[in-house]
Structure formats: structure tokens, C-alpha cells
Structure 1
Amino acid sequence: MSIGHESGVWPSLGETLHVLTFQGGFNTSVVLVGVTLLGVAAGLVGTFAVLRRRALMSDTLSHATLPGITLAFIVAVMLGASGRSLPVLLAGAALSGILGVLTVQFISRHTRLPEDAAMGAVLSVFFGLGFVMLSYIQTMATGEQGGIGKFIYGQTATMGVTDATVIGIVALGTTLASLLLFKEFRLVCFDPDYATVLGWRISLIDLAMMALVVAVTVVGLRAVGLILVIALVVIPPAAARFWTERLWVMAVVAALLGGLSGYLGAAASALFPRFPAGGIIVLVAGFFFLLSLLFAPARGVLAAGFRQLRLRRDIASQHLLRGLFEAGEAGGGEVVPAAALRSRVHGPAARLALARLTWQGLIARRPDGLRLTPKGREEALRITRNHRLWEQFLMAYADLAPSHVDHSADLVEHVLSSDMVEELERQLKARGRLPRHAGPPPSPHPLASGA
């Protein structure tokens, strides 16, 4: 598959475009398709594994495949067959991985060790055993052991058409199986108790899910390597989780990110064969994760920070409007000096709120202070009324002292819906605490004024 430069010289733009557009040769194109399908399958299957909290189990599975690979090589050589046959090595990896998962389940169910401790023990023991057997293979006079180490780190650039075809077929089959079992996996991931009530056998569904993880993990060993293949199962779903709250969208995005990671990583491996393919593919997936972490509109860091700032600005806006209203109510006149509102107009959010309220025409700035416009007074009246309705409710039903209700009302007044306000009015009216006029109830602490 290699068309890059062993000397480390950067490939030309033409070479890069030829690889990315499937014009770099038949072998290269087949490998690109195979690894892309692997990424799609890993992202889709990994979505359910992550939601089912099976990511560490998948890591154990990937490390537990090494003894199977080495044992399959030894047995094949002893029988006179080729020890580097991919189907033989993958069969050994699958059996060893399944044995590792079953060992974890046996330990966690029949001993006092928690599942994470069992997984750590099995992962370490199986991986250590695999390295011992790998060292033994290096002493065998077969002449075929040179490529076995590639299963640890992956080597996409040296894959052949047969290898890529096997990977593509297994990945495509795994993807179709995941789509067929989508409903069952969704039920188990989000409400296993309800699935049990409906008569579903959770253990069987979990077994089917782990079987698909085994298939993706084992078939990905050749391309990504057993150390990093788990990253292709975990990182795309983790990145997709930042973009949506819906499972089917998360599955599609995870499959897309996994496919792009495989495609771009395999292309880079063809252009730079000196670098390990598994590391490149995982780095591409990690780049997508970083982009999702920062820029995803649903759960990204920047979007969350923007929403928090907007919420603080809205709260500061309402506090400022209420402060102006209460200052005028206490006899401060229509124009309130800015110094009288120092406790409400401070910090970036409050200054942003003041600028926004002025731009919206709710507050008018005067040389001697601030004044509510008619539109602003109407909004301030609504906010103040909601605040004091909640204060009256707390004093009437929670038996709180007037000095203890202001802070609670400050927190709640911003989320009171119209239905909640109507219910407050009905209950306070029944107790005679609601004034006859449409204005706000009297403040329980009138001396607080607008400060």
C-alpha cells in the first residue's frame, strides 16, 4: 500500500490528492475502504459499549487477544501452515479475547473482587502472557515471525488486498448486525430494568453486544494494533456524545467520525509508512474529539460557557430592572444614581446586561443616573411581582422569616412560568396575601430599597 517516502520527505499535493481520491493504486484504495468501514463499525458498536459502560471491558478484550495471536501462530507453524495467515491469527485473537471476557465475568460473579479489579487483573495477566509467548516466537527458526509484532501497534501501510477485504467484510457485517439489534441495544443501554420486565434476557443482549465488540476489536488489530484499537471503539462515540442528546444521531455521528478517522489515518499511513498506522488513526480520532469537546453546540465547552454567560446576563438584567423599580418605589424618584445600584451593577455579566437593556430600550441612561422606560417599567413590574409572590409563598407555607426569603426568591424568580405564577396567585389569594390591584405585593423588607 505504501506510496509515501521512506526518507520522511513530505509528499506532494498531487500524491496526497491521489490517495484521498482513491487513485493511489488498487491496493491502496482497497485498504482505504476496508479501514474506513472498520472505523464506521467501531464507532457504531462503540456507541452502545460506551452507553452501556463497557469501555474498560473492551480495553481488557483488546489486550487479552495477544496470547491468542501468538498461540495461533505457534500452532499454525507446528502444523506446517503459514503462521502469518490473517484468518488464523484473527481466529486465535477472537478465542483469546472471549476467554478474557469470560474470565472477568467469572471472577466478578464468584469472588468478592469488583469488576474493575477483575478487568485490571485479566488485562495485565493476559497481556504479560502474550509478551512472553511473543518473545518465544522470536527465537523460532521459521522466518515468518517478523510481522507478528505489527499486531501490537498496527501497520496499515503493509496490509494487502486480502487483509483489507477481510476487515471490510467483517466490519460491514458488524455494522448491519448493530443496525438490526438497534432497538434491543437502546433498551438495554437506557432502561435494563424495563427490558427485563418486558421479558428480554439482558445477559443475551449484553453477550451479543460484546460479540460485536469482539469482532470489531479483533478485525481492527491488523490496522490499528491491539493497544490502540480500543481507542477507535471509544473515542468516536465519546466525541459524538457532545453533539446530541438523541441516540440515533449519536450513532450516526460516531460512525461518521470513526469512518473519517479510519479514512484519513489510513491515507496518512500510506503517505508516511514510517509512522505507526494505529497511532495516526487514533490521533485523527483524538483531533475530532478535541473539536467536539470545544465546539459542539449541544455539550461543547465553548457552547456551555456561552450559555452560562447568557444565563448570568439574563439574571443580572432582571436584578437590575427590579433594583430600579424598587429604588423608585422607595421614593428614589424616576432617575436612580448608579451608585445606588452598585451591588447590582458589577462584574462582566452585569455590565453586559446594562448595555443590553439600554440597547433594547428598557433602560435610559441619564447624566445623573439610570431611568426605566415605559417598556422597561412594565417588564420590571412583572419581575418584581414574581419575586414577591414567591416571598409571600415562602412566608405563608414554609414559615420562613422575612429576612430569609429574599435570597431564595432571587434564585427562583427567573424560572417561574406563567402556570406557576397563576398557581402562586391562587394559593396566596386563598390566604388573603394577594393584593387587589395588579401590582406586586408589598415587600416584606421595604427598607432594603433598591440596593
Structure 2
Amino acid sequence: MDLLALPPNLRVLLGTSLLGCVAGVIGSLAVLRRRSLTGDMVAHAAMPGLCLAYLVAYELGIGRDRPAYFLLLMSGAALTGLIGSALVTFLTRWTRTRQDAAIGIVLSTFFGAFVVLLSYIRYLPGAHVAGVDQYIFGQAATLLTADVWFIAGVLLVSIVTLAICFKELKTYSFDADFAHSLGWPTLSIDLGMMAALCLVTVVGLPLVGILMAGMIIIPCAAARFWTYRFGPLLVISGAIGAATGVFATLVSAEYFVRWFGFDPLAFGYNRKALPTGPVIILSGAAIFLASVLFAPRRGVLARLIALLRLRSRTATENLLRALYELGESQLPRLAPHQLEEIQQHRRWNRGQLTWALRRATWAGWIERNADAIQLTASGHQRAAEVTRIHRLWELFLISGARIAPDHVDRDADSIEHVLTPNIVGQLEAMLAESGRLPRTAATPPQSPHVLTGGNDPVGTLSPGGG
């Protein structure tokens, strides 16, 4: 495929998607190392290099239409970006300066130098300051075929390097001290990661501008809501970065309106003045917000649903245990109990009690006749299981944590609903070995304290109790 024959918008689409992919992958390493703001620092530190390189081109008479012009500006940006990264490393390793303070010092100093140099360039005769201004917000429309191939090469080298050094980078990203104890050259790894971050930032300046930091941070931040594993995190980060580039390009180039029939940003006739760089960041922010809300395990809605389910299950299990304890002295007979009696047995929130009654009825665990509530056979079995887990934890707190018997009920009430079968089995084995569990595991042990509502501790239960 000859990229020279492609329309400009398609070249921009390829360039922004490839840049987003490589920025997401390399940025993940920085985020995991808690160096998210390093990309922002590099973007600001590269700006004085652009100005200095522009001054060199101005003195040598190198115009913007010559290939050496772009190469010279990128070299200057990369040089000062690397110097800024080296200064941060020096300040954090060999002085008492914290990393966030070191980044702030370098960022503000280099950006101040950029403003001074830019002001100087404005007053040079014949100088075109627009050649430098475009790197502040980016100008993706100026992307050339060579730029697309260069970004693709950076992505390819990054993927190959990650594949070769996957184990080392994974270990260093999560535990640098452990990697150092293995004898690995952690300083070289750190400098290599910083150099890769500088390279990606400098490459992205013509497209995204000084906002390149967002393209480095946002994909990984969004991907962490979708996975806990290192490998999938890199893949998802790259995919999110590429998606932001594609979406932003489609919006900026009016393809989104043409294909889908509406304008997501409602810019209308001012669309021609809409820069691609900021739209890329806004697109990434939208994906991040969607990840925060809708991620299946770590998203806000998923956590809210899980919390509501836990509260519902907790209230239902508390109701079953209350019914079991109220009728424990009458077993194996399943006696009905009045709603007022249940309310006096423990403190209830009216809404929680109402929902617990409905949920237990739907599950077939209780039968209601007016205000009389009675456990069914399956409900009695479930109630006995809940009560057994509760009392096992109480016995563990008394024998293992040395907590007084009259203080264990509330602690057990808060933890019994999240105990896994494996933990329950370990509790049973531990208590049986110590002689604290003389009965079979099929029935609840004796309550170690006076039950709420005035019931005395009961003795042996019938096997039919669960």
C-alpha cells in the first residue's frame, strides 16, 4: 500500500491511532512505576529544545519546507526532554528531593525557559513563530508519510522490546527492590524506560502538542479498571490509546457526522478550527469515564451493584439467623414467630427488614401468614448453615483472638457474610483440633454467649437442624 496515495485524513487516522497505541503501551510502564507525571514533565521540558532548534534552523537558513527542519526540531526537543528526565533522576536519587517536587521543579523551570525563548523568537526579523506555536496544541493535519512510518517503527520496536524483556519489565514495574536484589541493572532499566517515554512524547508533540501527557496516562488509567494482569493491561492500554486516536480523527475530519448523522461535540460550522490533539485527550477522558462507570469488576456501577447485593444477602441471612435463634429451643419443631418478636430480637432498619422478608419469601425460605413468619424446611437448613458460620467465627474470636464472649457477636455479625467455604472448613478443623467444636460440623455449635432477646445458650441440637 502506497501511503503517498492516501488522503490526508487517512494518514492522520493511521498516525494518531499508532501514536495512541504506542503511548498507551509505554505509558503503562510509567503509570505502574508511579511516574505518571513524568510524561507531562517531558512534554514541558521538550519545549525549550524546540525553540533552541528553531533558532539554529533560523541561523542556518533551514526553512520549514526542508526535511532537515522537522528532524532538527525533534532532535532539540528530544535532547532537552532527556536532560529533564536525567535531572529528575539526579534530584531523586542523590538529593533529599521527593519525586513529585523534582518533577515540579524541572517542569516549571523548563517551561519558563520556553516562554522566554518564544518571546525572543517573536521579535526576530523574518521569524515565523507559528512553526513553534503548533507544537503547543499539536497540528495533526501536517502529518507526513515519513512520520507515519516512523511512529509505526517506534511501535514495532516497543513491542519487540517488551516481548524480549517482558519478565524483567514486569518485575521492575511492580517491585524495583526485588529486581535489584536479583542483581538486575535497575538503573539501566529505569533510564531505558525514561528514554522510551521521552521518545514517545517527542514523537507525539507535532500531533498532540504539550497535552501528550494525557495520551500517556489516560489509556493505562482506564485499562486498570478492566484487568488486574500485566500482559492484558498493556494490550488494553494500547487498544484504548488507538481508539482515542481513531475517534478524535473521525470527529475532527467530519467523518463521524457523515457516517453516524450527529455531531458528538456540537461544533457545527466551527469544526475546521477544531484541533485533533485536544480532541484526542477529550476522547481518552470519555473512555476513562466510561471505564470508571461501567467496568465489570472495578467500575462504580459494578461495585454499587455488588454492595447492594451484599447488603441484601446480609439482611436476609440476619433474618434467617434471627428466626433460627428464636425457635432454637423448640427444635425440631418449626414454630412461627410474630414480626414484633423478630424486631425485638435485633435492631432492624425498616427498609432492610422489608426487603429481607421479600427476598426470603421469593427464595422459599419462609412462609408468611399475616404477621406470623415461619421457616420452611429449606429455610431452616439455610438458617442453620448461617448460624453455624456465625458461631464458628465467635468461637475463633474467643479462643484465637482472646475476645470476651459478650463482645464477639457484633464482630462475627460483620464478617460471617463474606467467609468462603474454604475459610469455614479451616475454622472447623482448627476448632475441632483444639476441642472447641465437640459436635459435628452439620449443626451449629452452642452459642458462646447469651443470645439477644433473653434466650439462654442452648445445648445439643438435633441432626435435623442443618
Aligned pair in 2 of structure 1 residues 46, 399: CA closer, same or farther (>3 Å)? closer
* Native 8 Å contact 2:50 2:73 kept in 1: yes
Q: Which residue of 1 aligns with 2:337?
A: 336
Q: Which residue of 1 aligns with 2:305?
A: 306
* Native 8 Å contact 2:48 2:113 kept in 1: yes
Give the alignment partner of residue 252 of structure 1, picking from 235, 256, 259: 235
Give the alignment partner of residue 176 of structure 2, picking from 192, 205, 218: 192
Q: Hey, what's the Cα distance between the residues in 2 that align with 1:51 and 1:284?
A: 22
1:369-448 alignment, distance < 5 Å: 369-429=372-432, 432-436=435-439, 439-448=443-452
Count of aligned residue pairs for this structure pair: 428
Q: CA deviation at 1:143?
A: 4.6
1:142-161 alignment, distance < 5 Å: 142-161=126-145
* Native 8 Å contact 1:295 1:302 kept in 2: yes
Q: Hey, what's the Cα distance between the residues in 1 that align with 2:152 and 2:422?
A: 56
Q: Hey, what's the Cα distance between the residues in 2 that align with 1:396 and 1:170?
A: 61
Aligned pair in 2 of structure 1 residues 159, 116: CA closer, same or farther (>3 Å)? same
Q: Hey, what's the Cα distance between the residues in 2 that align with 1:273 and 1:166?
A: 27
Q: CA deviation at 1:138?
A: 1.6
Matched, 1:86 2:87: no
Q: Which residue of 2 aligns with 1:4?
A: none
* Native 8 Å contact 1:37 1:171 kept in 2: yes
Alignment gaps of 5+ in structure 1 = 1-21
TM-score (norm 2): 0.85
* Native 8 Å contact 2:293 2:301 kept in 1: yes
Partner SS state of residue 82, structure 1? coil
Partner SS state of residue 370, structure 1? strand
Q: Which moved more, 1:45-54 or 1:440-449?
A: 440-449
Q: Which residue of 2 aligns with 1:73?
A: 54
Q: Hey, what's the Cα distance between the residues in 2 that align with 1:40 and 1:79?
A: 36
Aligned pair in 2 of structure 1 residues 358, 207: CA closer, same or farther (>3 Å)? same
Q: Can you list the C-alpha shifts for 1:87-132, whole angstroms capped at 9, x where unaligned?
A: 1111110001001111122222333222211110110010010111
Q: Can you list the C-alpha shifts for 1:344-401, whole angstroms capped at 9, x where unaligned?
A: 6535555443322211111222213221110010111121122223323333444433
Letter paired with 1:357? A
Partner SS state of residue 218, structure 2? helix
* Native 8 Å contact 1:72 1:88 kept in 2: yes
* Native 8 Å contact 1:185 1:209 kept in 2: no
Q: Which residue of 1 aligns with 2:80?
A: 96
Partner SS state of residue 272, structure 2? coil
Q: CA deviation at 1:435?
A: 4.7
Q: Hey, what's the Cα distance between the residues in 1 that align with 2:356 and 2:35?
A: 46
Aligned pair in 2 of structure 1 residues 350, 164: CA closer, same or farther (>3 Å)? farther
Q: Hey, what's the Cα distance between the residues in 1 that align with 2:445 and 2:328?
A: 12
Q: Hey, what's the Cα distance between the residues in 1 that align with 2:324 and 2:17?
A: 62
TM-score (norm 1): 0.88
Q: Which moved more, 1:284-293 or 1:344-353?
A: 344-353
Q: Hey, what's the Cα distance between the residues in 2 that align with 1:26 and 1:450?
A: 83
Q: Hey, what's the Cα distance between the residues in 2 that align with 1:432 and 1:158?
A: 80
Partner SS state of residue 64, structure 1? helix
Q: Which residue of 1 aligns with 2:196?
A: 212
Partner SS state of residue 148, structure 1? helix
Letter paired with 2:448? P
Alignment gaps of 5+ in structure 2 = 255-270, 456-466
Q: CA deviation at 1:432?
A: 4.9
- Measured on the aligned residues, the alpha-carbon RMSD in Å equals 2.5
Aligned pair in 2 of structure 1 residues 419, 29: CA closer, same or farther (>3 Å)? closer
* Native 8 Å contact 1:77 1:83 kept in 2: no
Q: Which moved more, 1:308-317 or 1:39-48?
A: 308-317
Letter paired with 1:97? G
* Native 8 Å contact 1:37 1:172 kept in 2: no
Identity %, equivalent residues: 43
